[in-house]
Amino acid sequence: MPRHKLTTFERSLRQIIAQNLKKVSQEMTQNDLAAKTGIPTSTLSGYFAQRSTPSPGNVQRIADALDCNKSAIDPRFNDAFLHSDACFQTVFVQLSTERQAAVLKFAQAQLIAQNTRHH
* pLDDT average, residue stretch 17-28: 94
pLDDT of residue 41: 97
* pLDDT average, residue stretch 91-109: 86
Of 98 and 88, the one with more pLDDT: 98
CA distances from 111 to 87, 116, 118 (A): 20, 9, 11
* pLDDT average, residue stretch 25-37: 95
Residue 38 region by backbone torsions, left for phi larger than 0, else alpha for psi between -120 and 50, else beta? left
Residue 50 region by backbone torsions, left for phi larger than 0, else alpha for psi between -120 and 50, else beta? left
- Give 37-95 pLDDT, tens digit per residue: 999 999 999 999 999 999 999 999 999 999 999 999 998 888 776 566 666 776 777 78
